[in-house]
């Protein structure tokens, strides 16, 4: 009887273990399926995030390239506006701006500074024009000298200095022939400083104050690109 009971107990234990194994197997399989599904979902999310990041990167690159082209075009117009006008029969001073000085030394100082600007020696031109402004503050040539001083500083990438000089020119001599061009260079400096709102305001001011001028025409085109 003891042997039978012992055998029965062993048989029942084995059956119980087998049943336990059978019952536990589906649970493990279910857990593995969940894990695999979670991994697949995570991979899909990662793939989507990567694709979105790549699209965003390409869009940013396009925006940067567009802005660089925009700045390059504005630089070209600013440099064109900053060039001294050529002399003519009725306009014989080296700056080609119409006014002349009665003092030969004053005229020579101005012509020498403008000649440096023409040659692209902007640092030397800036120094010479600043010296001229100090020596001859009341000269008829002073506003034009101030324009080229601001333009020299623009060429030297001293954009804040350029803005200061040219805004002062427009304030002091709003009717000067170079005032519209001065505002165009101011807007160019503001773009270089990433002050797009300031550049837009300057261009709008130029268009409103000096309509019909070549600078205003250029400002209209620049304003469209800055919208």
**Rounded distance, CA 165 to CA 172, Å?**
11
209 contacts: CB under 8 Å, gap ≥ 6? 174, 180, 183
Topology given in CATH for the domain delimited by 73-84+92-226 = 1.25.40
What is the predicted pLDDT for the residue at 142? 95
Per-residue pLDDT tens digits for 42-83 = 888 888 888 777 777 766 665 566 555 655 665 665 666 666
**Rounded distance, CA 146 to CA 223, Å?**
25
pLDDT tier for residue 94 given thresholds of 50, 70 and 90: very low
For the question of whether the overall pTM of this predicted structure is more than 0.85, the answer is: no
| 3-state class percentages of the chain: helix first, strand second, coil last, to nearest 5 | 80, 0, 20
């Amino acid at each position: 009887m003891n042997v039978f009971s012992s055998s029965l107990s062993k048989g029942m234990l084995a059956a119980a273990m087998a049943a336990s194994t059978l019952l536990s197997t589906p649970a493990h399989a279910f857990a593995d399926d969940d894990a695999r599904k979670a991994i697949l979902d995570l991979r899909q999310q990662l793939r989507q995030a990567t694709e979105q990041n790549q699209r965003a990167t390409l869009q940013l690159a396009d925006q940067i390239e567009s802005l660089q082209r925009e700045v390059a075009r504005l630089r070209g117009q600013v440099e064109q506006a900053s060039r001294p006008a050529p002399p003519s029969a009725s306009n014989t001073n080296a700056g080609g701006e119409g006014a002349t000085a009665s003092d030969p030394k004053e005229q020579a100082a101005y012509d020498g500074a403008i000649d440096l600007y023409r040659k692209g020696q902007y640092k030397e031109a800036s120094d010479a024009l600043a010296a001229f402004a100090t020596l001859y503050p009341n000269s008829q040539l002073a506003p034009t000298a101030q324009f080229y001083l601001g333009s020299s500083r623009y060429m030297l990438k001293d954009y804040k200095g350029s803005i200061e000089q040219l805004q002062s020119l427009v304030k002091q001599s709003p009717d000067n022939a170079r005032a519209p061009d001065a505002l165009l260079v101011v807007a160019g400096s503001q773009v270089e400083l990433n002050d797009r709102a300031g550049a837009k305001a300057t261009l709008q001011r130029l268009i409103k104050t000096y309509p019909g001028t070549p600078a205003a025409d250029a400002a209209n085109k620049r304003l469209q690109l800055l919208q």
